[in-house]
Amino acid sequence: MVEARRVLRHALWRRLLIDSVWATIARDESIIMRDVKGVSSSGFKIDVFRPGDAVGVSGLFKEVYGDGYPVKIVYDPEEFTRAVDRQEYIPVVARTPEGGIVGFSSFYRSAPNKRLYEMGLSMVSAGYRSTAVLGLLVRRLVKVALASPCLDAFFGEVVCNHVLMQKSSGVFKAVETAIEIDLMPSEAYEKDENVSGRVSTVVSTRTIVPRPHTIRVPEVYGDYLAYIYNAFDDSRAFERSDERLPDDRSTEFTVQIFEGAGVARITVNEAGSDFETVLDSEEKAARSRGVTVTQVWLNLSWPWVGGCVEALRSRGYFFCGPFPRWFGEDGLLMEKVEGRPNWEGIILYSERARQILEFIKEDWAEVTRKIEGGTEKRENVETRREPPKSS
């Protein structure tokens, strides 16, 4: 139970930290437009992480979170430095002239593809929160991404209960591709008066190193994907996915369950003819742990991905959008949400994001209608059956 709470706190912190990053950029666009070199008038320098910064980074985490941050590597300067050397983290810091660390932000690996990084883990020492340090950190982080030999693309997730943070996606030239529906419980934002019900997030991706390739398109999502990829910053060729799930492959999932948030995240590493059997087993296990939102990522390079989509739709899953480079090739996110999603709680800034939401709502409605229709038919059949005759 304690470990479950730690995992939930980590997920909530990650959301809130990402939120604070994008909000700072959106409030002061001059942070993005003006170069700041050397030590600023505020008494700090924005710089790439150096091994000597690790002790200060550990101290900053202790200041902000005490000893309770669930990713314990940040409290071990030597191990964190080794993780940076392994390129698991690509951090930047705000350093005072005396060498103290008063700000931190990082790219980090969270996807199966080790060359796709997520942006986040941003924090500022209490005495510097009235300065521009957070926006400057993120600005420098994007510059680092452009020069990094190990980073091909990055993505960020921003909440949909208001538009403040969404406005900054264009500043970073990131393109919206998906919306994670009802991702976070409202308890994560209990101090925010704009929150009523679960909170969704917009996913935006920026390509650094292009990788044009072919994706296999499930027929039911052809129009959706054509619209989303039309304005994406890397090219894709489309081929129809019309093959059956292969008999010579065994389905393999990677599953993460966040019990406090009620979320299961399933990455489908391999899919074969046993896909539905394995899925049903994992769903049953997730329900027993209180999961109300189940996310599934499929690989759009598979000629049989359409078969996976139909199996998921028959169980109540609906379209949420592509995740470029998720597997190296692109991924497709589908979700199943217990009950009706909190559509009214989704507020979107761009016309593009609003169109993606319309696709999602359309597919959810169709999937729900089919499932409810099938249930009604089964119930009607049951009521029409004659009771067995007594002997």
What distance in Å separates the CA atoms of residue 8 and residue 291, rounded to the nearest whole number?
A: 13
| Amino acid identity at 315 | R
Which is it for strands 293-299 and 331-337: parallel, antiparallel or unpaired?
antiparallel
CATH code assigned to 213-375: 3.40.630
Backbone phi and psi for residue 183, each to the nearest 5 degrees, phi listed first: -65, -45
What distance in Å separates the CA atoms of residue 298 and residue 295, rounded to the nearest whole number?
A: 10
CB 324 within 8 A of CB 225: no
DSSP 313: H
Q: Which CATH superfamily is domain 2-151 in?
A: Gcn5-related N-acetyltransferase (GNAT) (3.40.630.30)
What distance in Å separates the CA atoms of residue 76 and residue 40, rounded to the nearest whole number?
A: 29
Output the tens digit of pLDDT for each of the chain's 391 residues.
444 444 443 444 333 333 333 323 333 322 332 334 444 555 899 999 999 999 999 999 999 878 867 578 999 999 999 999 999 999 999 999 999 999 999 999 999 999 999 987 888 998 888 888 888 998 899 899 889 999 999 998 888 888 877 876 666 789 999 999 999 888 765 545 556 789 999 999 999 999 999 999 999 999 999 999 999 999 999 999 999 999 999 999 999 998 878 999 999 999 999 999 999 999 999 999 999 999 999 999 999 999 999 999 999 999 999 999 999 999 999 999 999 999 999 999 999 999 999 999 999 999 999 998 865 554 554 444 444 444 3
What distance in Å separates the CA atoms of residue 78 and residue 378, rounded to the nearest whole number?
A: 62
> Which has the closest alpha carbon to 186: 155, 160, 204?
160
Block residue for tokens 């990650």: 14
Domains 2-151 and 213-375 in one fold? yes
Other C-beta atoms closer than 10 Å to the C-beta of 113 total 18
What are the residue boundaries of the structural domains of the chain, listed by start? 2-151, 213-375
